[in-house]
Structure 1
Amino acid sequence: MISSDLLSPEAIRVIPGMSSKKRLFNTLSDVAEQVYHLCPESVCDALMERESLGPTAVGQGVALPHARIDSIDRVRGVFLKLERPLDFGAADRQPVDLIFGLFAPEDAGVDHLKALAAVSRTLRDPDLCALLRANGDASTIHTVLTQRRTTNAA
């Protein structure tokens, strides 16, 4: 489950399509500016720098671009759903349509890793991803991402 402290309802966007990874990073940066008051140029530069180390696409149409930002006080996220998937250089060669951008303070240490692990676990669930793909409403997407999911053990 993704904490509602990590992902503000206002930090979710449904986008018709994206022409490039750079444009996607600009959009993530713009949302981070609007919601969390971060400098969009700094965010975009940090995302591009991290991506230069290797693609942050994790497969199955999901990408987790992330960066450390000196002007943020705690780990925060932005979620984008693309109606038209974008080539992201994923190892499975699948284009991405679910993008969770994660931003952490420079000194976040283990908090950054915990948040990244929580987001990764959440978006590895194929049923949850199907729900996200089936919904075009940001508030519904927020609920799907932040609700506590339970399973019945036999």
Structure 2
Amino acid sequence: MELTSILKPEAVKIIGKATSKKRLFQSLGEVVSACYDLRSDDSVEALQERENLGPTGVGHGVALPHARIKGLDSVCGVFLKIESPIDFDSVDRQPVDLVFALFAPLDSGVDHLKALALVSRTMRDSNVCAKLRANTDSATLHAILTEAPSIQAA
């Protein structure tokens, strides 16, 4: 599995700010709706349900929200860079500015886990995160993510 199969170039966005986690989820829902033809409300609700189980802020300014969605055919992703970091209840209590959300079919099983592991490895790479933070062009951000060294999943 490669990030190019999960993340469309148009699903990479830079937003000025999100006033809350809920507003961030709404932004993710809008992008996933536009790029993958999913209902925004369903996506936001699924993200919130998953987040209620425990925060998906993994530390170092990174969050990896994820959800399973009815009617989805394959795993897909949305990446948002937030210019004004927000509180995300992260494990290290640091605000979040890099968000890679994953959406998977209800019955995706191992594909969802492989995608999550791939995204997690990519976003744990401090060099990748530094490059993402240093750039302000969506196409460049997509290239950084999809050309990351940890591109291959097990």
Normalization by structure 2: what TM-score?
Answer: 0.95
SS of the equivalent of 1:7 reads coil
Greater fraction of residues in helix: 2
Letter in structure 2 aligned against 1:53: L
1:78, 1:101 within 8 Å by CA — same for their partners in 2?
yes
Q: Name which one, 1 or 2, has greater alpha-carbon Rg.
A: 1
Quote the residue 2:110 is aligned against.
Answer: 110
Native 8 Å contact 1:2 1:145 kept in 2: no
SS of match in other structure, 2:9: strand
- Find out whether 1:26 has 2:33 as its counterpart: no
Cα separation, 2, equivalents of 1:149 and 1:64: 19
For 1:37, the aligned partner's letter is D
SS at match of 2:107: coil
- Within a 5 Å distance, the mapping from 1:20-99 to structure 2 comes to 20-99=20-99
- Counterpart of 1:16 in 2: which secondary structure? strand
User: Partners of 2:104 and 2:65 in 1: how far apart?
Assistant: 12
Runs of 4+ in 1 over 6 A off after TM superposition: none
Q: Distance in 1 between matches of 2:60 and 2:74?
A: 28
Number of matched pairs: 150
Distance in 2 between residues matched to 1:2 and 1:96, nearest whole Å: 24
**2:133 aligned partner, one-letter code:** R
Does structure 2 retain, via aligned residues, the 8 Å contact 1:14–1:83?
yes
Q: Is the 8 A contact 2:55 2:88 kept in 1?
A: yes
Task: Give 5+ residue unaligned stretches, structure 1.
Answer: none
Which residue does the alignment assign to 1:131?
131
- Kept in 1, the 8 Å contact 2:85–2:95? The answer is yes
Q: Give the C-alpha shift of residue 2 in structure 1.
A: 4.8
Partner Cα separation in structure 2 for residue 99 and residue 45 of structure 1: 17
Q: In the aligned structure 2, how far is the partner of 1:41 from the partner of 1:148?
A: 31
Alpha-carbon distance, 1:148 to partner: 4.7
CA contact (8 A) 2:20 2:86 kept: yes
TM-score by length of 1: 0.95
Cα distance per residue 1:62-100 (max 9 Å; x no partner): 000000001210000000000110000011010000000
Q: SS at 1:4's partner residue?
A: helix
Aligned to 1:17: 17
Identity, % of aligned pairs? 57
Contact 2:18 2:86 in 1 (8 A): yes
Which segments of 5 or more consecutive residues in structure 2 lack a partner in the other structure? Answer: none
